Amino acid sequence: MKMPDGQTIVFDLDGTLTNPRKGIVRSINFALGGLGQKPLPEAALTRFIGPPLKEIFSELLCTGDEDTLTKAIHLFRQRYFDVGYRENRLYDGIPSLLSTLKGDGNPLYIATTKREDIARKVAGHFGIAGYFNGIFGCDLDTPKAEILWTIMKLNSAKKSPAFMIGDRGSDMAAGAEAGLRLIGVRWGFGAPSELLPAEVVVNTPTELLNYLRHSRQN
């Protein structure tokens, strides 16, 4: 019996594949310090894991001044690119999940608000880059939906469904705009209300794998 076509599966990075809490929080505080601001406690910064950097610093610094935001982003990236990405950790079960999905013939992608070269560095550091057909980053002014449309064009011949998997409302919104099916993960940083648009919200990578395999058969 012929197997159904592999499903196009797009993963968010931060909060979905990796836990970047330590590296992002420390890099945000490094940027704030470089601008003469006091560091903030980790608990106050957790909600900023996931959104674009310009949005983060605009809120934290209460400014829309482009020069200030550019400097804050430069300082953040200076630390994150040097050491912050190595302060990430893979969530338990992710390598096995990716290996199995790849072995099942599914094209896998990363779509992240991170700059693309940084996303590639994170994936390479944890030895998961080889599972992906493509790793795409938004940088500062590219909407996440735009890179999802790019991924869909690469897989336009496929008749099987495509999924966006993420932990934040921004993942759900981008996936919906690009016409992907939405899966939310509870192990990330989004509030439950952010994942309401998802067709399913999963608790573990094993649960995610089972759902995707069931979907492929139906």
**What does the pLDDT read at residue 2?**
42
pLDDT tens figures, 101-147: 999 999 999 999 888 999 999 999 999 999 999 999 987 778 999 99
CATH class for domain 21-87? mainly alpha
**What does the pLDDT read at residue 1?**
34
- 12, 14, 167, 171: the catalytic one is 12
Residues found in the chain: 218
Answer whether CATH 2.30.30.30 is correct for domain 8-19+89-217.
no
**What does the pLDDT read at residue 63?**
96
- Asked if residues 217 and 4 have their Cβ atoms less than 8 Å apart, the reply is yes
**What does the pLDDT read at residue 106?**
95
Buried-state track 31-47, b at ≥16 Cβ within 10 A, e below 16: bbeeeeeeeeeeeebee
Strand partners, 9: 108, 163
Parts of the chain with a pLDDT under 70 = 1-4, 218
HEC string of the chain equals CCCCCCCEEEECCECCCEECHHHHHHHHHHHHHHCCCCCCCHHHHHHHCCCCHHHHHHHHCCCCCHHHHHHHHHHHHHHHHHCHHHHCEECCCHHHHHHHHHHCCCCEEEEECCCHHHHHHHHHHCCCHHHCCEEEECCCCCCHHHHHHHHHHHCCCCCCCEEEEECCHHHHHHHHHCCCEEEEECCCCCCHHHHCCCCEEECCHHHHHHHHHHHHHC
Using CB atoms within 10 A of its CB, is residue 157 exposed (0-12), middle (13-18) or buried (19+)? Answer: exposed
- Cα(59)–Cα(179) distance, integer angstroms: 30
**What does the pLDDT read at residue 4?**
54
For the chain, domain boundaries = 8-19+89-217, 21-87
Q: Is 65 a catalytic residue?
A: no
